[in-house]
Structure formats: C-alpha cells, structure tokens
Structure 1
Amino acid sequence: MTTPNGPTALRRIIAAELRRLRMASDLTQRQAAEQTGIDPSAMARYEGGVSSMSNPVAEKVFAVYGVDAERNAELLDLVKRSRKRRPKGEERAVVWEPVEDLIALERDASIIREVAIQPMPGMIQTERYARAILGRGKLGADVVEDHVQARLSRATIVTGDGHVEYWVVLHEAALRCAVGGAETMRDQLAHLAELSKRPNITIQVLPDSAGAHPALSGPFKLLRFPIAPEYGIVYLDYLTGADYLDEPEEVAQYDDAYLHLIKMALSEQASLAFIKKLSKELYS
C-alpha cells in the first residue's frame, strides 16, 4: 500500500510560492518570463498550478527571484515531487479517491485547523472507532481493514514527530454520537484526553449550548505550509466528493470563521473536563 503522490496538490503550493516570489521581486509575470527566458504562456501555467516545471526551469526562476540555497533545495524537491507519477501497474493507495490530494497536502502542511461536527476527524480516531465507522457499509472485511490501516497511517501526521500543529474544534455532537457502542466511545474519549497532552495538538469542544455557529453549513479543514507561508487551502468533503478552495478571499473567510469558533468553544482545560465528564455520564 502506497501513499498518493498528489502532484496536483503539490503544484498548487508551488504556484502560490511562485506568485509570492515574483511579487516580492517587484516583477510582472511578463517581466519574469523575459528574464528567465520562459514563454509567457508557460509562466502563466506554472503560476496557475496547471503545469509542472522541470527542475532546470525551476532553477532559472528561483535564481532570478534571488532564492537562497537552502530554500532553493526545498523548493526544487517540491518541484520534483510535483512531477512524480505512480509507476505503471503500481497499486493505488486504499483511500477514498477524493482524499488523495488531501493526504499529500497534509504531509506537507505545518498547520492543520479542523472543525468537526460528527463523526470524529480521521486523524484522531482510535483503531476501533475507525473500524466501526468504515465497517458500516457494504465493504468486505479485507477492504475495511485496508481502509482502517490507511486511516491510522494518516493519523501519524499529527501523532508522529509533532512537526505539524493540529488544532481541532469538536462539536459536542461528535462526543455524543455513540459510534461502535459504549466501549468504543469510552476508548475514543480517553484517546482524546491523551492526545490533548501533546504540545502540537489542541482540542476544544464546542458545546450544544453555544447555539448557532459559523460551521452550521458543515465541517471544514484549513491547511498552511512552511514552503509557502502565505498560501492556504480549505478542504470540504461531502457524500460523493470533495472541494479544495484556495482563492485568498475564500480562505480568509474560513480563517475568520475558525477564529470565531475557537472563541465560542470551551478552553482546552474546560474541554478536557467536559470530555471526561461526558464519557463518565454516557459510556461508563
């Protein structure tokens, strides 16, 4: 089982950084094309995330923009990975197809912000909870198991070396939805309590008593990247697919919504107490 390379997702990040570097150099797109000897239409495709650059072309561009050696190496690695394709005959990763780009983005992110109504976000699910969620359909046992292991592998993005800052707002509904029964939920809520001790993970609960809130239209995930600090992506999923929003104006609206939600939610300490209290009341 392999992790998707997500070339389309990586091109989005590169495109954003190309635009930022060009503007920081006070060049128009046409001027940048002239100085690098790149066809203007090709430059537009690179900055639009439509086409992948070769590394020699990327080196020309970064030289014109005055990128230092360390950052140049980081960007060239990203450029190389953006061209990578799954070898012919190689098995696809066992994940829901619309989430393949998300996996690549999560692995390159430095900050992940998430709002969940129900169920629990995949990144903080226990194995038993994930199995209960994924086994509710018509998939065979072997396929369910592959999906469970793929989900647990994704969780290491935030539970591994801690390089990703993960902040989640959990609606009370996620805590009350008895996925898998009392024992599964008791373990899941204990898992949340343990995760909350990690320095890179913040868990806040949005109680029912908060009333109307900015996520009434649905959950969402915000991602930021060290390689392109001014760039952000909002991920939204639904029954039959997923959307990726990266227009700055749209991302800013979700940023504002998230800031509003963390103000409405219980503090970290109060959230932990709430989780423990609810576990005792509902699942002991």
Structure 2
Amino acid sequence: MANPQSPSVYRRILASELRRLRSGSGLTQAQAEEAAGIGETSLSRYENGTNSMSIPVAEKLLTLYGEKQPRLGQLLELVKASRRRGGGQGLRGIIPTWFEDLVALERDASTVQQFALRVVPGYLQTERYARAVLSGGLIREDVERHVQARMARTLLLDGDEPFEYWVVLCESALRVLVGGRDVMREQLEHVAEMARRPNVTIQVLPDSHGAHASMNTEFQVLSFAIAPEFAVVYMDYPTGSLYLDVPTEVEPYHRAYTHLIKAALSDVQSLDMIKARAEELT
C-alpha cells in the first residue's frame, strides 16, 4: 500500500477488527448484514477496507458483535478518524504530505518497533541534533519549522499513556558525528536518559555482529491495541514513503525484527555502550 491517505489506513484497521469480531460472533457476512439492516455486499466492502462506514452503521454492527462501552466508544472514534482526510493536523504545511499518515498513526499506536541504521531516530533526537540532521539533508528551507515539528513528535513518548517504544539502533548511529562532538555528546546523553524510561527499550546492534536481517533498510512497525491483529510497516526515502499493512507483507518485518532483537546487545549492555561513547566525546 504505497502513499495512502491516512483515512484509508484507518479503514484497514477497522476492516481487520470487523473481520475478527464477526468471526468471533459466528455470523456469516449475509447474516450480519440482515441482522444489522444494511445492504447486501456492504459488509464485504467494509471488511475489505474499500468503503468507510457511517457512525450509525458502525454502531449497529459493533453492538451486534457484542461490543460495549468503553471499547465501543473507542471503536466509533476510530470510525470517525477513518472518514477524515489528512492526518497531520497542526503540522500541515510543515511536514511533507506523505509523512502526515505516519503522524496520524503514531498518535493512536500502542507499540512502535523501529530499526535505525546511521541516524538516531526522530523520537529520541535533541533539538540541536535534529537541526544538524535536517540541515544536512534535502530540506534546506524553513529548517527551524521542521525542527519544531520533529520536537513535537518526541512528546509522544511522554504523557499519561505513551506508546511502548522499542528501537534497535546500529552502533554506527552512535559514531557518526552529526553536528560535531558537542552536539553528538549531548545527543547520546539524551538517548541514555530516554533508555531509563519504563516505556522505552533501546538495544544497540554492534558493528562486530556483521551481517544481519536488515542490512540496508530502516523500518518501523506500528501496532494498535484496539486492533491486535493489525500492524503497519512504515519506511521512508528522500522524497516519499511506503506503508505496508497487508498481513503477508507485514510478517517478514516482524520476523526480521525478532532476529535483530536477538542479535543486538541487551538493554543494559546497550546503555553501557551509549554512555561510554558519550564519555569518549567529552
């Protein structure tokens, strides 16, 4: 699924959950359509993510499947999100349009698993490090607004219910002197501080490990508590992004991430390496 509008991704999340709930109820599509009083083949389009549902139709189906508050209300909010266009409210005009979908999805994610090669991920970046990364890339105009947008995304790891963040970070990302020694030392100290948070797990994949499961590809896997069978893989490149949400496409990334976790140092060993590298730059 390349370059989707975020509402279509939300329709996919709902489609996955509708299929699971109907299967659990023991109803066929035709039986569910008749019981909910909706047209023939309508449910097929909802379960395929082709069409968005109205709130009344969604409430009929979810009630039919036995959903009750508070989860019923949560699912209905997801239905509303599936009908809106644009996911980067508040950041539109700053972030690229192809990035808006990720901004929308990460706000609702319960877990984000990320693999990073040579740059500390955006969620963990300091302001000075982010400025150096953005200044050295393709974005040469309005860098400060992009920096502030990136800083706003780091707040997703704060709050009352932040998502669980697990990152496997290649050792090379600790060694590339982005912004110089002072900026890099500050960045590594910040990563070490973030690693102590209960919702953050950071593992370093040492260069000495050699070949691994994702040599040339960085990626994120976003999962959602409201739809446990659904996940989205996100990857980007200089001028765009790719979103995968078909189970057969997502599964290889789950497997790759499992291998990366096994190959990486433990979180305790990783923290020691990060602190040691920061001390080298003092």
Which residue of structure 1 aligns with residue 143 of structure 2? 144
Distance 1:253 1:91 in 2: 32
**1:23 is aligned to 2:27:** no
**1:255 is aligned to 2:254:** yes
Distance 1:271 1:137 in 2: 28
After TM superposition, give the deviation of residue 160 of structure 1 in Å: 3.3
2:217 is matched by which residue type in structure 1? Answer: G
Distance 2:6 2:127 in 1: 25
2:239 is matched by which residue type in structure 1? Answer: T
Distance 2:242 2:93 in 1: 20
Which residue of structure 1 aligns with residue 170 of structure 2? 171
1:245 is matched by which residue type in structure 2? Answer: L
After TM superposition, give the deviation of residue 193 of structure 1 in Å: 0.6
Which residue of structure 1 aligns with residue 125 of structure 2? 125
Post-superposition, which runs of at least 4 consecutive aligned residues in structure 1 deviate over 4 A? 137-141
Which residue of structure 2 aligns with residue 78 of structure 1? 78
- Of all paired residues, the percent bearing the same amino acid is 53
How does 1:231-246 map onto structure 2 within 5 Å?
231-246=230-245
Native 8 Å contact 1:10 1:104 kept in 2:
no
- Quickly say closer, same or farther: Cα 1:31–1:93, change in 2 above 3 A: farther
**RMSD of aligned alpha carbons:** 1.9
SS class of match (2:169) = strand
Distance 1:30 1:99 in 2: 38
User: Could you give the per-residue CA deviations for residues 49-102 of structure 1, whole angstroms, max 9, x where no partner exists?
Assistant: 22221110101111211112221111111111222246xxx9824112222111
After TM superposition, give the deviation of residue 197 of structure 1 in Å: 0.8
1:111 is matched by which residue type in structure 2? Answer: T
- Quickly say closer, same or farther: Cα 1:277–1:136, change in 2 above 3 A: same
User: Could you give the per-residue CA deviations for residues 174-228 of structure 1, whole angstroms, max 9, x where no partner exists?
Assistant: 1111111111100100000100110000000001011111111301111111111
Native 8 Å contact 1:9 1:102 kept in 2:
no
After TM superposition, give the deviation of residue 280 of structure 1 in Å: 2.4
| Count of residue pairs brought into register by the alignment | 275
Distance 1:238 1:148 in 2: 18
After TM superposition, give the deviation of residue 139 of structure 1 in Å: 4.5
How does 1:86-101 map onto structure 2 within 5 Å?
92-101=92-101
After TM superposition, give the deviation of residue 162 of structure 1 in Å: 4.8
Distance 2:116 2:9 in 1: 23
Native 8 Å contact 1:118 1:173 kept in 2:
yes
Native 8 Å contact 1:131 1:145 kept in 2:
yes
- Quickly say closer, same or farther: Cα 1:225–1:91, change in 2 above 3 A: closer
Distance 1:23 1:159 in 2: 36
Q: TM (normalized to structure 1)?
A: 0.90
SS class of match (1:202) = strand
After TM superposition, give the deviation of residue 137 of structure 1 in Å: 4.4
SS class of match (1:188) = helix
SS class of match (1:230) = coil
Distance 1:91 1:114 in 2: 22
Native 8 Å contact 1:9 1:104 kept in 2:
no
Q: TM (normalized to structure 2)?
A: 0.91
Which residue of structure 2 aligns with residue 48 of structure 1? 48
Which residue of structure 2 aligns with residue 277 of structure 1? 276
**1:58 is aligned to 2:81:** no
- Quickly say closer, same or farther: Cα 1:269–1:44, change in 2 above 3 A: same
User: Could you give the per-residue CA deviations for residues 82-127 of structure 1, whole angstroms, max 9, x where no partner exists?
Assistant: 22246xxx98241122221111111101111000002111111111
Native 8 Å contact 1:162 1:200 kept in 2:
no
Native 8 Å contact 1:117 1:170 kept in 2:
yes
Distance 1:44 1:183 in 2: 57
Query: Which residues of structure 2 form unaligned runs of 5+?
Result: none
Distance 2:159 2:59 in 1: 33
SS class of match (2:229) = strand
Distance 1:77 1:11 in 2: 12
